[in-house]
Structure 1
Amino acid sequence: MGAADFDPENEQPLDEFGYEKLMRESDARTDKYIELLKKYEGHPDQEKIVAREMGWTWLEEALEADERGALPPREEI
């Protein structure tokens, strides 16, 4: 289920097993993300490659739009 599929009205509270499943899935995503960051460290397109490998098409598209200058400039923090 992606963020677009989330419906808080139909969301049920997690029991112990549901929570454990959620945490295992989260840990697996984190492990994959860290592995990809290390694998593509130093590559000029690291962010886009990692986004693609993670299935984050929205981020990959945003990074490409930023490269084309289609997004407003970022504010410095």
Structure 2
Amino acid sequence: MESIKIKPETKKKLTEIAGMLEKKTGKRVSYDDVINYLIEKRSKDRKTAEKLFGIAKGVNLYEELLNGRKEDENSS
């Protein structure tokens, strides 16, 4: 087993998430469980975002937005 250093604020946040997970599952959870939950959640969120925005992959959406606004201004 390894140990990692975290700031007290980070430990507090992990503890809050652990409490939420314990309430949700009815089981005691470890910090390892919390970290794995957060990793899994991020992975799911990323996959969902890729599905939603897959068409725009590799496109700088901010630049596209600015260009679209310039075109709108020029056509007004």
Same fold (TM over 0.5): no
Higher Rg: 2
> Which interval holds the TM-score relative to the shorter structure?
0.3 to 0.5
The TM-score, its normalising length taken from structure 2, stands at: 0.37
Question: Under a length normalisation based on structure 1, what TM-score does the superposition of the two structures give?
Answer: 0.37
